[in-house]
Amino acid sequence: MEFVPDVLSKIQTVPDLAEVLEERRARGERIVFTNGCFDILHVGHARYLARARALGDLLVVGVNSDRSVRALKGPSRPLVAEDDRAELLAHFAAVDYVCIFDEDLPNALIEVVRPAIDVKGGDYDAEKMPETPVVRRYGGEVVILPLEEGRSTTRVVTRVLEAYRPGEPGGAP
């Protein structure tokens, strides 16, 4: 029999997430939230998620839908479909819940999650983020974590394209 961890239970719809978080909040648990495209996961993501989770009792990850990734990154993205990105994130021990959202900004999902802490990577400025006022309205704080130098999806994509240039050894014909 094939071993498949019960990670799919971590992937929640918005209404189901609202219900489970209400129970966790009632127990006094500190909710941490982050969001992103998470297209092509790499060690920078893993380290970021572990650091985010360490800031509270549970970590909720909002994943941009395929439509919203295209709106943010262009027509050639995402490279990995939303359901696969959500499931990959659910496999991380640091991640308690994953929720796909279709809006370009995570504000509507943040209103449901009402995190004590909203986490973003070091390429963001909390005072310029459109979600900051939403987080603060619920008494939450925005925490910016440092980026992992040399770790980014863009860098991975660039390396793959360089490695598989037509006519290069090991590249496309």
The full set of domain ranges for the chain reads: 8-148
Which two tokens mark 33? 């939230």
Q: Could you tell me the pLDDT band of residue 167, with boundaries at 50, 70 and 90?
A: low
Taken in order 124, 51, 33, 42, the sign of the CA dihedral is: positive
pLDDT at position 134 over 90 = yes
Alpha helices in 11-131 (DSSP H): 14-26, 43-53, 66-73, 82-90, 107-113
Q: Residue 165 — very low, low, confident or very high, per pLDDT cuts 50/70/90?
A: confident
User: pLDDT for 70-124, tens place per residue?
Assistant: 999 999 999 999 999 999 999 999 999 999 999 999 999 999 999 999 999 988 8
The band of 173, judged by pLDDT with boundaries at 50, 70 and 90, is low
Q: What is the CATH number of domain 8-148?
A: 3.40.50.620
Say how far apart CA 98 and CA 11 lie, in whole Å. 5
Helix or strand holding residue 141 (H, E): strand 141-145
Bigger pLDDT: 172 vs 124: 124
Contact present, 29 and 57 (Cβ < 8 Å):
yes
Could you tell me the maximum CA-CA distance found in the chain, to the nearest angstrom? 60
Q: 135 vs 42, which has greater pLDDT?
A: 135
Tell me the pLDDT band of 1, cut-offs 50, 70 and 90. very low
